Amino acid sequence: MEDMILYNRLQFAFTITFHYLFPQLTMGLSLMIVYFKGRFLFTNQEYYNQASKFWMKIFALNFAMGVVTGIPMEFQFGTNWAKFSELTGGIIGQTLAMEGMFSFFLESSFLGMFIFGEKLLGHKLHFLSGLMVFIGSWASGYLIIATHSWMQHPVGYEILENGRFVLNNFGALFTNPWLWPSFLHNQAGSLATSSFFVAAIGAFYLLSNRHSAYGKIFVKSGVIFGAVASLALAFPTGDLAAKNVVKYQPVTFAAMEGIFESEKGGSEIVLIGQPDMENKKLDNKIAVPNVLSFLTYQRWDAEIKGLDAFDESTHPTNVPGLYYAYHIMVGLGTIFIGIMGLATILLYKQKLYQTKWLLWILMFMIPFPYIANTAGWYTAELGRQPWLVYNLMRMVDGVSPTVSSGNTLFTLLGFVGLYILLGLLFLMLVLKIIRTGPETKTV
């Protein structure tokens, strides 16, 4: 049973990690595309119109890859996690069905109009089609996170005698206190990914002296959006999300922060350290006294419960993994604020485009928002373990009893091979679009 659970978790973790590389770019990029098209309508500068169409090509490729890699996850609910689907399908099926029927349909329909319908629609309706793509992509994220939020903090349900969960308050799904902080934090992360991506391509064009006019537009837009998104990741969205964990999953918060023993008189915030699970402590830690208490409760002397205050059976199953994922996310987020803050200052002083060392940094930052977003998802998922539905259903109660560990391992290897090929194909196509550059119509 332990092998079966491990392989099921590995398969879902791999497929969802690979899948989320694509929507985390498209959700933020859809907003920037709307911005470029809107700027064109406002200024009548053709550069902005061509910029919107250039980025929509990359958006479309990401969207297609997101669809292809998202379908297997839907099937895994029935193959690997059949018991979970059987018992909770009456609730999570609501939001997942709405995402497929409404958000995906809206996004995909207007995506085609934006790509192929500019001449037929005219610029104002073309802008409207881009706006609909943006709304569809963010609505899709909202409904997916509504599902995830119910698993983290179940509301509006009752459990029948046969163990099935049924929904007795539809509105509770969308007023879940876990939902909005998680959604806004996720969207800020997505916007950070797209902002760094856009700024990086702009920096590449400036450093290579190609498409310089577009390079300046991309760098400026990426830095402005990126500065706002990076700050929003920390406050208010990150702060609100962390306070939800403190309130509803205090044992998870203790593991995230590496607090093994409850601390009275103020808790320190650990900047660096390594969890020692055998001795229940952090090794080689660098910490600042009392700061965690203030950030959590706005009191320097507030007590924060450690792992020792909770039954060990409720502890996250992988405390080191949770601790490192959380600190990677926070550490990278802090770096993002520093880089985008400095870039914003130089942009204001009209020196950014000539500051080559910072352009190089922007260009090589492309993978790091992806890493930070992935670490953030791992924090949420590892923090919920050992529960599938927090405090109500454990992993062992949700797996498919008829699917062997050998079958799961075999298909996992198949997914790895197939996704590597898909990833290489995707990179080749994106690099071709970037190498060709935006269309160079005269203005």
pLDDT digits (tens, 9 = 90+) for 194-240: 999 999 999 999 999 999 999 999 999 999 999 999 999 999 999 99
Helix H or strand E segment including 103: none
Give me the sign of the Cα torsion angle 405, 406, 409, 410: negative
pLDDT at residue 443, rounded to an integer: 40
The residue ranking higher by pLDDT, 101 or 324, is: 324
pLDDT one-digit tens code per residue, 73-95: 888 988 999 999 999 999 999 99
- Please confirm whether the linkage preceding 72 is cis (ω < 30° from 0): no
Q: In 171-305, which residue ranges form alpha helices assigned H by DSSP?
A: 179-207, 212-234, 237-248, 250-257, 291-297
Q: Please give the torsion angle defined by the CA atoms of residues 391, 395, 396 and 400, in that order, rounded to the nearest 10 degrees.
A: 130
- Please confirm whether the linkage preceding 401 is cis (ω < 30° from 0): no
pLDDT one-digit tens code per residue, 114-135: 999 999 999 999 999 999 999 9
Burial class (CB in 10 A: 0-12, 13-18, 19+), 432: exposed
C-alpha to C-alpha distance for 181 and 418, rounded to whole angstroms? 35
C-alpha to C-alpha distance for 165 and 391, rounded to whole angstroms? 14
Q: Rounded mean pLDDT of the chain? A: 94
Greatest Cα pair distance in the chain: 70
pLDDT one-digit tens code per residue, 297-349: 999 999 999 999 999 999 999 999 999 999 999 999 999 999 999 999 999 99
Of 94, 265, 237, 256, nearest to 178 (Cα)? 237
Beta carbons within 10 angstroms of residue 284's beta carbon? 8
Cα Rg for the chain, rounded, in angstroms?
Answer: 23
